[in-house]
Amino acid sequence: MSRYRSLPASFYRHPTEQVARELLGRFLVRRLDGQKLVVRIVETEAYLGRQDRASHAWQGRRTARNASLYEAVGVAYVYFIYGMHYCLNAVSGEADEGGAVLIRAGEPLLGTETMTPLRGLKRPPRPGDLAGGPGKLCQALAIDKRLDGVSLTRGALRITRGEPIDADSVATGRRIGIDYAGQAAEWPLRFAIQGNRHVSRPFPWN
């Protein structure tokens, strides 16, 4: 069905803030051992690249870690943080700009019985337990460094058309965990589906 058709690379070739908004409602599909795990993207953040102090591409920084940011739009940028977590981004914007969208939270749709033990849980999960945060989401979908640089348009990790939401159903806020970024910390580049209970932490609606 068309909800499971991958978004094309051209989808990501637009301003990163726009891509971050339009990724809400889309499906993140992980193929794992012949099984399909699916979450609906409910929260994102835009990182604008060289002009954004919170971005790993701030001032055009190029390192071994962030090489994927300069590969091509539509590829995954996966990095390791805090000694124990991974974060998943979709590279977006213009070539060489270093823009990307952080996938901060998803609503589990398929494969929850597999995600639950991957998360180390033994009880039925409550909203947000499985993928309500960038680190949780990666753990639930078995996303790690091996998926850094892969295309999101095909293969073991894809983003599909899903269920696009209305523009007026998007909640906006400040990005999380980047207080070091000065003025950029106040830019309203965090987005979520209005009222969704699977977000990483409360929005103004709560």
Smallest separation (angstroms) from DNA to the CB of 43? 11
Q: Rank residues 34 and 120 by Cβ distance to DNA and give the closer one.
A: 120
Smallest separation (angstroms) from DNA to the CB of 34? 26
Contact range with DNA by CB under 7 A, out of 2-10, 13-21, 165-173, 176-184: 176-184
Tokens of 162: 């899903």
Q: Rank residues 131 and 165 by Cβ distance to DNA and give the closer one.
A: 131
* Bridge partners, 90 (sequence order): 76, 101
Tokens of 51: 């002009």
Tokens of 77: 């940028």
83 is a contact residue toward DNA (CB under 7 A): yes
Note whether 36 and 113 are within 8 A (CB): no
Tokens of 115: 């995600």
User: What dihedral do alpha carbons 194, 92, 137, 81 form, nearest 10°?
Assistant: -120
Smallest separation (angstroms) from DNA to the CB of 109? 18
Binders of DNA: how many residues, by CB under 7 A? 37
23 to each of 96, 112, 113, 188, 206, how far by Cα in Å?
21, 21, 25, 16, 22
CA angle 168, 75, 9 (to 5 degrees): 65
Note whether 194 and 205 are within 8 A (CB): yes
In the list 115, 178, 184, 199, the residue contacting DNA (rule: CB under 7 A) is 178
102 is a contact residue toward DNA (CB under 7 A): yes
Tokens of 38: 């699916």
In the list 51, 80, 118, 150, the residue contacting DNA (rule: CB under 7 A) is 80
Residues 37-76 that bind DNA (CB under 7 A): 45, 47, 54-57, 61, 63-66
Residue type, position 161, single letter: R
183 is a contact residue toward DNA (CB under 7 A): no
Smallest separation (angstroms) from DNA to the CB of 66? 5
What is the rounded distance in angstroms from the CA atom of residue 204 to the CA atom of residue 185? 17
The residues of the shown chain that bind DNA, judged by CB under 7 A, are 45, 47, 54-57, 61, 63-66, 77, 79-85, 87, 89, 100, 102, 119-120, 133-137, 145, 175-178, 180, 200
